[in-house]
A and B are shown apart, each in its own frame.
Chain A
């Protein structure tokens, strides 16, 4: 059943089509240089994780790639017509704003009923369209964000610490869902994480960031790199196995569905 690791990458991985690339990008926020000459390239179908300590510029790099923050130098290039699905770091909906899950999925681009229902089924929230966003659990909320990101059939999913605030089974379930989505759609995935334990096994490539790119490579190579150890310390050797272990032991209510449905997707 575990089909998360290994080399049996589904459609698209390493097809050699460049999706998005940051070339020698620098970004300054409030006078301080947050990114310094960062170059990152993402190919179709790849899973790339950006790791770094707090305040290392991880989110800023994503936002620079998405065109949200202005660059002080360098440039970002994307393949023409690139469809990106974005899951932001935190989304606090003000209590004064009533909004159903279904309505949320139609912002800012209207989604058809069938499309929206299918996206909710895909993330395991079948039939929750009429629920208030404010009434969702943390795990459900993140799944709605993912469903919204999937609506325009993205070639690239960008996720900024998508499991912040989830418990460990919820986190493992969420990453499993992302992996499933990738297998089905072949979308490339670029995510930011501070939690190497859960993420690394699923990644083709890991980029360690601390205002500049410290090191880059396969999870295994990176976890043994001295630059990586300098950033995160030791004791991460067991991390690669940890994720697979969790895969079979999910206790999160939201992920139960996936356990049961899993064979249908294969």
Chain B
């Protein structure tokens, strides 16, 4: 049944949403949007290194994203000016990745696939990687949910209740690196942060509890994936950006609807 490329694409989008819904909610709550960007952009550098050393792309992406995420988290914890630091790292990593990739022969034509994703070319192997990674991230977040949420509300409060906020931050950092590796094929390095933030932001307007927001973000991400694929199919638009456009459309509707509800 996985022989149909469209079915594989749809499953890839839905699988990714399982992870980006809850993780994206934390990114929004903790104001880590730029953090997500920096980590995602580092993925391009990972691609370059993987190609240069003939390693699996997923492995290279995961390793470099992890290094980047840990670096940023460490600098932030040491009190570096986070906004500036992230700006420098995010763009430096992207530019460095693009330069590095130009040294690898025969990739230039594929570059767009890494920047904007290539969901229609998802193989069965990719699908296994995406679902494996997404379920792992989801399980990690569900397992640590109470502690993560407490640490997000207030670190001192969490600490006084026996939750180590540093450990929780590390778990989110790990999850973010995993999601970046998983999402590269689906939406590409430039739009990974969009898949984290937009569904969660859309869900915010319609939710009363953190759990409802995370769950709804999964649904919105999945619907946006399917709608984006449909748009891509009928209008021949690029699939990755179409998914993000669909998510943005849902966000606008949700924000308007949420406003009506509150009246």
Contact = CB atoms under 8 A, between A and B. Distances in A.
Interface of A: 30, 63, 66-68, 84, 86, 88, 91, 93-94, 96-100, 103-104, 106-110, 132, 158
A98 B156 contact: no
Contacts of A93: 153
A66 B159 contact: yes
Contacts of B105: none
Interface in B139-160: 146-147, 149-150, 152-154, 156-160
Interface string B5-40: 000000000000000000000001111000000000
Nearest to B201: A96
A98 B209 contact: yes
The listed residue with most A CB atoms (<10 A of its CB), out of B79, B150, B160, B213, is B160
The listed residue with most B CB atoms (<10 A of its CB), out of A63, A98, A103, A109, is A98
Interface in B195-218: 201, 204, 207-210, 212-213
B161 interface: yes
Interface of B: 28-31, 79, 146-147, 149-150, 152-154, 156-163, 201, 204, 207-210, 212-213
B150 A107 contact: yes
Given A103-B209, A108-B146, A108-B163, A96 B28 contact: yes
A84 B162 CA distance: 11
B204 A108 contact: no
B254 to A, nearest CB: 13
A98 B208 CA distance: 5
22 contacts: A68-B156, A68-B160, A86-B156, A86-B157, A86-B161, A88-B157, A91-B157, A94-B30, A94-B31, A96-B29, A97-B152, A97-B213, A98-B207, A98-B210, A98-B213, A99-B153, A99-B210, A100-B209, A107-B149, A107-B161, A109-B161, A132-B208
A66 B155 CA distance: 12
B161 A108 contact: yes
B33 to A, nearest CB: 11
Nearest to B200: A96
Kindly list the 4 A-B residue pairs having the minimum CB-CB distance in the complex, ordered from nearest: A108-B150, A86-B160, A108-B146, A97-B29
B201 A103 contact: no
Contacts of A84: 160
A141 to B, nearest CB: 12
A241 B157 CA distance: 34
A98 to B, nearest CB: 5
B159 to A, nearest CB: 5
B156 A63 contact: yes
Contacts of A103: 209-210
| A interface SS class | loop
B157 A97 contact: no
A117 B154 CA distance: 23
A67 B160 CA distance: 8
A158 B161 CA distance: 12
Contact of B147 (A98, A108, A132): A108
Nearest to A152: B161
Contacts of B30: 94
A184 B210 CA distance: 34
B154 A88 contact: yes
B257 to A, nearest CB: 15
Nearest to A109: B161
B146 A107 contact: yes
A103 B153 CA distance: 12
A104 B157 CA distance: 12
A91 B153 CA distance: 8
Given A66-B160, A91-B153, 11 more contacts: A86-B160, A88-B154, A93-B153, A94-B29, A96-B201, A97-B153, A98-B208, A98-B209, A107-B149, A107-B161, A108-B162
Contacts of A132: 208
Contacts of B213: 97-98
Contact of A108 (B31, B149, B207, B212): B149
B156 A88 contact: yes
Contacts of B209: 98-100, 103
B230 to A, nearest CB: 29
The listed residue with most B CB atoms (<10 A of its CB), out of A93, A99, A109, is A99
A30 B78 CA distance: 9
A68 B156 CA distance: 7
Nearest to B154: A91
Contacts of A67: 159
A104 B152 CA distance: 12
